[in-house]
Amino acid sequence: MRLSSQVYNRPIADAALIACPQCDLLQRLPELAPGASARCPRCDKELWRRREDSLNRTLALTLGAALLYVVANSVPMLGLTIVGRAASTTVIGGAEHLWQDGQQLVAMLVLLTAVIAPALQIGFMLAIVLGAHRERPPRWVGTLLRHHPATRTWSMIEVMMLGVLVALVKIADYATVIPGMALFVLWVLVFLLAGMQASFDSREVWERIQWAQGGARRDSARDRMAAGTS
């Protein structure tokens, strides 16, 4: 009787245990040197790669991405000249035009996937890396780390860029298209964001968080549980 209430919903004491995401084999991760990776013995899937100097590299790439993001949203993305009339627009301006044209749903999707989600993705990553740099990472680093994958899923600048390219080719027959500064900045941003994700090692940050606070919290929870059942 005592077992069932105590065993369920308790975190596994061994944080090195990992289930292979491909074949579900449960195994223990070894200590890895920077740059080395661990593979599943059954299906050869890479389970974890310890990135070299992950926190500093990610911080540098994230700062670069933040700078480019600000530039990309403050300078024109596209200009058009039709029979002597010229007009140019930014990313947010484009969404605004869509809204006014009665395409509210598309306007909201553009705003979410090309403006809001990338801002959250960069902002969360910056906060996580800066928080993890501290000697005792604060608790909110874990909360942000848990929600960061969602911002990554919705951040789709590259999809918007492909759409813009297709549109450019189609309207080139009817109007003179002037590619704006933001178009080039956004292409660089796409690669910076990919680099930022590739250099980031979430396991390393989790380890730092657990080291700073996880042990103490787990002990106190265990004490509470023991006091409640005795």
Residue ranges binding Zn ion (CB under 5 A): 20, 22-23, 25, 40, 42-43, 45
Q: How far is the CB of 18 from Zn ion (least distance, A)?
A: 10
Dump strand ranges (E) for the chain: 17-19, 26-28, 37-39, 46-49, 78-82, 85-89, 176-179
CA distances from 88 to 35, 97, 108, 130, 181 (A): 46, 11, 20, 37, 11
- Identity of the residue, 10 or 42, whose beta carbon is nearer to Zn ion in the bound complex: 42
The 8-class DSSP code of residue 48 comes to: E
Per DSSP, the residues of 138-166 read -THHHHHHHHHHHHHHH--HHHHHHHHHH
Q: How far is the CB of 158 from Zn ion (least distance, A)?
A: 29
The torsion angles phi and psi of 217, rounded to 5 degrees, stand at -70, -40
Q: How far is the CB of 26 from Zn ion (least distance, A)?
A: 10
- Identity of the residue, 38 or 161, whose beta carbon is nearer to Zn ion in the bound complex: 38
What's the burial of 58, exposed, middle or buried (CB within 10 Å: 0-12/13-18/19+)? buried
- Rounded CA-CA distance 208/204 in Å is 6
- Rounded CA-CA distance 47/109 in Å is 34
- Identity of the residue, 47 or 196, whose beta carbon is nearer to Zn ion in the bound complex: 47
CB neighbours of residue 73 within 10 Å: 19
- Identity of the residue, 40 or 72, whose beta carbon is nearer to Zn ion in the bound complex: 40
Q: How far is the CB of 13 from Zn ion (least distance, A)?
A: 23
- Identity of the residue, 42 or 147, whose beta carbon is nearer to Zn ion in the bound complex: 42
- Identity of the residue, 20 or 164, whose beta carbon is nearer to Zn ion in the bound complex: 20
Dump strand ranges (E) for 83-189: 85-89, 176-179
Q: How far is the CB of 29 from Zn ion (least distance, A)?
A: 13
Q: How far is the CB of 152 from Zn ion (least distance, A)?
A: 24
- Identity of the residue, 24 or 53, whose beta carbon is nearer to Zn ion in the bound complex: 24
Q: How far is the CB of 39 from Zn ion (least distance, A)?
A: 8
| Token duo for residue 222 | 């265990």
